Chains A and B, each alone.
Chain A
Amino acid sequence: MYDAFLPRLFYFFCYKVGDPQVAEELTAVTFEKAWRSRRGFCKDRGQVQAWLFGIARHVAGDYLRKPFREVALDEMPELSDNPSLDEDLQRQLDFQKVSRILSTFPERDRELISLKYGAELTNREIAGLAGLSESNVGTILSRVVSKLRKEWEQDHG
């Protein structure tokens, strides 16, 4: 469970909060909560996924509701083990830019982007979690990505 869901949880939080360091913290909190209560849970993978991302959504909600969020100013984000620093740096800058644009979007749009491109869930799975219809999820995501693309091009233009 850990190896399968760790990256997806981390990416989910990255899109959700826009900061990889905070995403690590929230991923750890989510796993601790899940680990503590995993004993009585059934082994079906689909149900585990819904359960785990349900916890993650609560953890993210708790974090975003905090009036003052701690920001570590003395630590620069660490680079990965990728030997190509230029590519890594470019990717990091692109992500920061996308996160900045997404931060201006409504909470629900950002949530759907996080579940789709962070947690890698299908539209049906997102619909189950978010309480929307599958077609509605597809429509909203298409609209949000178009809006994101438009603002991205405006920044680069």
Chain B
Amino acid sequence: MDDDFLYRIRPPVRKEFAKDLKRQLSSQYPDGRSAARTTFPVNLRWAWKAAFISILVFGLLLFTFSGEVRAGVMGWIQQIAGFQVEERLTPPVVDSGEPDSPSEQIQPTEPFAENAPRVTLEPSEAVAEVTPTIYAVPTC
């Protein structure tokens, strides 16, 4: 008796058994999941996803078409974030082509006049005689 003998005497696997077991496993668990998994938890997972997507879509539709909901959301944003969201039907800046007020007009620059008085920058006596002001600061 040696190692080969112990390998050789093993009963062969019946072909019918191998086929039957394979067929049985394939029919019971076609994708490797147990029967319990395929019925309850998988369906539940899909139900959660479907419910979440439905709620999201419903909320978006409500926000789009209901003014009250929009106002409520904007008020909530103002309360939480501290800034106001303004809803406008027209864009905030309208470029009409003309300035709105004269102050916004750019004045044309005038050229130098020929006979304008000349101004010389020399120290004047009035400036030189200015006496410093002494403030009395009360001390304790």
* A-to-B contact residues, CB < 8 Å: 2, 6-7, 10-11, 14-15, 20, 23-24, 27-28, 31-32, 35-39, 77-78, 80-82, 91-92, 94-95, 98, 113, 117-118, 120, 145, 148-149, 152-153
A80→B32 contact, CB < 8 A: no
**B interface, over-half SS:** helix
* B-to-A contact residues, CB < 8 Å: 1, 3, 5-15, 17-18, 21-22, 24-25, 28-29, 32-34, 37
Closest CB in chain A relative to B93 CB, distance in Å = 59
Closest CB in chain B relative to A14 CB, distance in Å = 6
A31→B21 contact, CB < 8 A: yes
The answer to whether A95 and B10 touch (CB under 8 A), given A35-B25, A35-B29, A35-B32, is yes
Query: In the assembly, what is the distance between CA of A20 and CA of B12, in Å?
Result: 9
Of the listed residues B1, B10, B21, B37, the one surrounded by the most CB atoms of chain A closer than 10 A to its CB is: B10
Closest CB in chain B relative to A129 CB, distance in Å = 19
A118→B34 contact, CB < 8 A: no
Contacting residues, chain B, for A94 (C-beta < 8 A): 5, 9
Q: Which of A6, A39, A95 contacts B11 (CB 8 A)?
A: A95
**A interface, over-half SS:** helix
B32→A91 contact, CB < 8 A: no
Query: In the assembly, what is the distance between CA of A36 and CA of B24, in Å?
Result: 13
Query: In the assembly, what is the distance between CA of A66 and CA of B8, in Å?
Result: 30
A10→B25 contact, CB < 8 A: no
Contacting residues, chain B, for A35 (C-beta < 8 A): 25, 28-29, 32
